[in-house]
Amino acid sequence: MVNVDSRLWNKPASENYDRPMTLHVRELLSEVGSGKMSALAYDTAWVARLGEIDSELSDRALAWLREHQLPDGSWGAAYPYYHDRLISTLAAIIALARQDGNQAHRSQIDHGLLALERITNGVTQQLHSDPNGPTIGFEMIVPTLVAEAESIGLIRHQGARILNELSEHRKRKLKLLSGKKISRYITTAFSAEMAGEDGLATLDVENLQEENGSVGCSPSATAYFNLRVRKDDRKALHYLRQACGPDGGIPNVAFIDTFETAWTLWNLSLIPGHEDLPAEFDIRRHVDFLSRAWDKHNGAGFSSEYSVNDGDETAVVYDTLLRYGVTKNLDGILGYEEDGWFRCFDLESDPSMSANVHVLGALRQAGFDKDSPPIRKILRFLETRRSDQGYWKDKWHTSAYYTTSHAVIACAGFADATVRSAVEWILQTQNADGSWGRPFPTAEETAYCIQALEIWQRHSGHISREVIGKAANWLEENSDPPYAPLWIGKGLYSPELVIRSAVLSALLLSGKG
């Protein structure tokens, strides 16, 4: 377990847990497992197409789309991310056009088409402008959307420019899939809509749905399944109705119970005295859930309802369980080892930095020393992929502060040389008001930096209390949701409870509460 002092927790338990901030922890733990996630324009657009199958669900999704068009005519997160804006805008204008029998959406479609024209101008540069890379399935899904938009007369000129840039990415992915049909046991099921209207032969239809009726726990893939594969499939519709938010918005994935629980408990485990949370906080229920979710051969996945496990989830679940006194078979982690790193998913075309950071943290928790071959492999990988400024970017999160802060936590007091420049980068990029975040400050990024600096302070080096105090003051004033969508799925999203747990962890680490 992380060795931190108990200066924040030196009061009797009955007094300590009446403190306002720890009451927020109690409230958070009562919600964990619900899978609270922001809506995405992309997935909402797919559900909006279901008018002939479920008019109520479709109407609610259409209403959400009409209300969430951005001022420039595009759809997607307010955070400027090219891949998110392109795929979201394409999906939205197709959905509006498909359901626009009386031309009610014409002005919004036209506004969206102008935005799409602006987005695709200079596409060669833009496709490389997001340092984290494309959103999930981008290179496979966009060609299908472009072909559909052209077939219904929405676009005539953008297609060639987009597809020319994507062709090589798509070829690499198709090569990985060669000879395989897409079933629920292959990660590509999450993006099954890439098959379009003429690619049904690529789908293993009888083995595509999860037990909960979804395809890959993806609302967009499930809506596609309902439209093109099995119309009016009752289990798929039931899943989509459950996934639909009260405002008609649809999330990137449903449901994220394992991911939400593991990341939340991991954040809380950084707080001094986390082992002594009173019984009424019901933390044991969440630990038991993670323990049941573990598969001794390949660990865990983001959802207990998803057939595919991954190295990132496996590492965080293992690490978290060990922090709460539960030991699992290390084969679940070591099975993800590759020649130069640890993979996140089978068939992935590029490795995840954060997954390797989390494997490092888990192996450290398990007692591996710095000279053990798996640890040396990950440290070499991190050192070769570190930017000149000292930070790391990742394909699952737009912010370098996420991966970099987690790397500092994994290495502090263990492999300090690997992250010393990262600590300096964090300190140098703090905003004048104490926050962190580019292009605008966010509670999430500020929380990660506070966590990293506090753990570094306790293990490896002096950090000015003024730096952390100023950050904590800003975070306390800006801690409430909604949070900016910085996580990368098929678009950008925010897992609210995971972010809230990081915020509470940072505030308690810094002495607030």
Kindly state the tokens that stand for 176: 């990985």
pLDDT the model gives residue 16 = 44
Contact between 154 and 113 under an 8 Å Cβ cutoff? The reply is yes
Q: Is residue 280 part of a domain?
A: yes
One domain for residues 76 and 161: yes
One domain for residues 234 and 280: no
Q: What share of the chain is helix, strand, coil (3-state, %, to 5)?
A: 55, 5, 40
What domain range includes position 99? 39-251
pLDDT the model gives residue 105 = 84
505 Cβ contact list (under 8 Å, min separation 6): 267, 268, 270, 271, 447, 451
pLDDT the model gives residue 447 = 98
Q: Is residue 80 part of a domain?
A: yes
Contact between 512 and 472 under an 8 Å Cβ cutoff? The reply is yes
504 Cβ contact list (under 8 Å, min separation 6): 21, 24, 25, 28, 267, 268
End residue of a domain, out of 219, 251, 283: 251
Q: What CATH number has the domain bearing residue 199?
A: 1.50.10.160
pLDDT the model gives residue 197 = 83
End residue of a domain, out of 251, 284, 311: 251
pLDDT tens-digit map of 423-460: 999 999 999 999 999 889 999 999 999 999 999 999 98
Q: Among candidates 352, 276, 280, which has minimal Cα distance to 315? A: 352
Contact between 222 and 240 under an 8 Å Cβ cutoff? The reply is yes
Q: Among candidates 305, 411, 398, which has minimal Cα distance to 356? A: 411
Q: Is residue 381 part of a domain?
A: yes
Q: Is residue 357 part of a domain?
A: yes
One domain for residues 358 and 370: yes
One domain for residues 104 and 21: no
One domain for residues 407 and 448: yes
Locate all alpha helices (DSSP H) within 233-303, ordered by sequence.
234-243, 257-269, 283-293
**Number of structural domains found in the chain:** 2
| Low-confidence residues in the chain, pLDDT < 50 | 1-18
One domain for residues 98 and 238: yes
End residue of a domain, out of 232, 251, 270: 251
One domain for residues 312 and 459: yes
| Pairwise CA distance, residues 108 & 37, whole Å | 26
Q: What CATH number has the domain bearing residue 31?
A: 1.50.10.20
Give the pairing of strands 250-251 and 487-488: unpaired
Buried b (16+ CB within 10 A) or exposed e, 192-230: bbbbbeeeeebbeeeebbbebbbbbbbbbbbbbbbbbbe
One domain for residues 17 and 153: no
- The CA–CA distances, whole Å, from 203 to 192, 197, 466 equal 8, 12, 57
**Taking the CA of residue 468 as centre, how many other CA atoms within 13 Å lie in the half-sphere pointing to its CB?**
23
Phi/psi of residue 495, nearest 5 degrees:
-85, 100
